Amino acid sequence: MSAPLAERMRPTNLDDYIGQQHLVGPGAVLRRMIDSGRISSFILWGPPGVGKTTLATIIAHQLETPFYTLSAVTSGVKDVRDVIDRARGSRFFNTVSPILFIDEIHRFSKSQQDSLLGAVEQGVVTLIGATTENPSFEVIRPLLSRCQVYVLKPLEKDDLLLLMQRVIERDGLLSQRHWDVKETQALLRYSGGDARKLLNIMELLYEAAPAEGDIVVDDAIVAERLQQNPLAYDKDGEMHYDIISAFIKSIRGSDPDGAIYWLARMIEGGEDPAFIARRLVISASEDIGLANPNALLLANAAFDAVMKIGWPEGRIPLAEATVYLATSPKSNSAYMAIGEAQRVVGETGNQPVPLHLRNAPTKLMEQLGYGKDYKYAHDYAGHFVRQQFLPDELQSVRFWHAQPNSQEDRLHERMMQLWGDRFKD
């Protein structure tokens, strides 16, 4: 039985390695390390199918050093210790340390990662980890501090087309047929920068093709063969956070087109609509704020509508709220005010409440002066009277500062009328 195409096409040297030229191209950091014959521990971080495992294998092969592999999915602490013991026994004086490659290192528990520390620090092994998740969140700090992190990128269009051409020309099985490549847009879209996906698609096209004649590659055939959502979207992974970040920043940046695009990406990727709606409510408070208080009302209404009507119609109120928030004037004055207030509270501790602001439910409290001299605002003209509302030590502190928009200009003008120079910025 023939090995899968992805295994048959796995390169064994850097000259055949496709992509990641910022790491392995002429003069790049990993290329220099490999050429010098000495490498230090590092972690390869990138999406699936971009060559992390292949790169580690090529490095071990080129350096001619023992190469041990562990999968974080199936290996425990005992397996880690066994490999370290074998690596310690296989190392000879003045030779390069054996390489320990750990796939999906983000799945290792803290205790498993702890068991690696001594061996990595002492040079018993050179660790190469591979992960699709952000190492700063998933790898313990002591181990991360001993490893350089290199980011691998999704393969570019030209990389994928080069890989396709190599398959057609070099694979012992697929090269026996003639390939008539008419269109590649769907092939590239479904691959999504993932070499393994592209190879799997080509293998599927080969297996599903008629026994005689050319293997035709066009957009319609690829879509018909796959019949699946081409979008890469892991609701628990890095892309989830990247896309919601782009969505919120597009709203904050007043770009309704960008915001709608990222909303569509989340919808097509199967994101939880409640998650999107919650983020809209947060954005309405954090980024639009007092510049347009109606934004929070609309975001809440969109959240409520989505919960009531469900999917797919729920995308419409989400889109309405998205466009409204993106096109609204922006202010983060309330967000900044609460942040500054929390900072001051953290620095100054539990400042006593002024006596006149305290409640006096008992006779003793009244005798102690609780509530004494408090002025009830509604008893005064305009429902306002000047008095102290901050603790004694913080009387001169300002937290809220109006930002330049029509709504807050009116609020600031009112504060100046009521409080005078206290609100003079």
The CATH number linked to 262 is 1.20.272.10
Above 90 in pLDDT, residue 385? no
Query: Over pLDDT 90: what percentage of the chain?
Result: 26
Residue 150: its H or E element: strand 148-151
Query: Over pLDDT 70: what percentage of the chain?
Result: 95
Q: Is residue 15 part of a domain?
A: no
Structural domain total, the chain = 4
Reported as a pLDDT band with limits 50, 70 and 90, residue 13 is confident
Reported as a pLDDT band with limits 50, 70 and 90, residue 165 is very high
Contact 95/61 with Cβ under 8 angstroms?
no
Phi, psi of 42 (to 5 degrees): -155, 165
User: Looking at the structure, do residues 277 and 301 belong to the same domain, yes or no?
Assistant: yes
The CATH number linked to 166 is 1.10.8.60
Q: How many CB atoms lie within 10 A of CB 123?
A: 12
pLDDT of residue 322: 94
Q: pTM surpassing 0.75?
A: no
Q: What tokens were used for 33? A: 């390390």
Phi, psi of 148 (to 5 degrees): -80, 145
Q: What tokens were used for 224? A: 């018909």
User: Looking at the structure, do residues 87 and 101 belong to the same domain, yes or no?
Assistant: yes
Q: Is residue 214 part of a domain?
A: yes
Contact 300/265 with Cβ under 8 angstroms?
no
User: Looking at the structure, do residues 287 and 408 belong to the same domain, yes or no?
Assistant: no
User: Looking at the structure, do residues 88 and 179 belong to the same domain, yes or no?
Assistant: no
Q: Is residue 2 part of a domain?
A: no
Above 80 in pLDDT, residue 279? yes
pLDDT of residue 128: 92
Above 70 in pLDDT, residue 91? no
User: Looking at the structure, do residues 162 and 140 belong to the same domain, yes or no?
Assistant: no
User: Looking at the structure, do residues 60 and 137 belong to the same domain, yes or no?
Assistant: yes
Digit-coded pLDDT (tens) for 225-253:
887 555 544 545 556 678 888 999 999 98
Q: Is residue 404 part of a domain?
A: yes
Comparing 417 with 263, which gets the higher pLDDT? Answer: 263
Q: Is residue 43 part of a domain?
A: yes
Q: Is residue 337 part of a domain?
A: no
pLDDT of residue 243: 85
pLDDT of residue 237: 52
pLDDT of residue 312: 84
d(CA 297, CA 284): 9
User: Looking at the structure, do residues 73 and 109 belong to the same domain, yes or no?
Assistant: yes
Chosen domain end from 151, 167, 201: 151
User: Looking at the structure, do residues 257 and 219 belong to the same domain, yes or no?
Assistant: no
The CATH number linked to 94 is 3.40.50.300
User: Looking at the structure, do residues 306 and 197 belong to the same domain, yes or no?
Assistant: no
Q: Is 368 helix (H, G, I), strand (E, B) or coil?
A: coil
Reported as a pLDDT band with limits 50, 70 and 90, residue 60 is confident
Digit-coded pLDDT (tens) for 110-156:
888 888 888 888 888 889 999 888 888 788 888 888 889 999 988 99
Chosen domain end from 308, 327, 346: 327
Q: Is residue 270 part of a domain?
A: yes
pLDDT of residue 371: 85
d(CA 54, CA 56): 5
User: Looking at the structure, do residues 45 and 140 belong to the same domain, yes or no?
Assistant: yes
pLDDT of residue 92: 58
Strands 148-151 and 126-131: unpaired
- Residues ≥6 apart with Cβ < 8 Å to 177: 206, 209, 214, 215
Digit-coded pLDDT (tens) for 353-371:
888 888 888 888 788 888 8
User: Looking at the structure, do residues 32 and 135 belong to the same domain, yes or no?
Assistant: yes
Range 210-229 average pLDDT: 82
User: Looking at the structure, do residues 242 and 295 belong to the same domain, yes or no?
Assistant: yes
pLDDT of residue 93: 52
pLDDT of residue 161: 94
Q: Which residue has the tokens 């495992």?
A: 53
Chosen domain end from 186, 203, 226: 226
Q: Is residue 298 part of a domain?
A: yes
- 158-164 long-range contacts, CB within 8 A, separation 24+: 159/18, 159/19, 159/195, 160/187, 160/188, 160/191, 160/193, 160/195, 160/198, 161/188, 162/18, 163/9, 163/18, 163/195, 163/198, 163/199, 164/198, 164/202
Digit-coded pLDDT (tens) for 373-384:
888 888 888 888
Range 300-321 average pLDDT: 91
- Structure-derived torsion over alpha carbons of residues 313, 317, 322, 325, reported in degrees to the nearest 10: 180
- Of 303, 261, 307, 312, nearest to 282 by C-alpha is 303
DSSP 76-106: -HHHHHHHHHHHHHH--TTSPPPEEEEETGG
Q: What tokens were used for 155? A: 């393969």
Domain that holds residue 245: 238-327
Mean pLDDT of the chain: 86
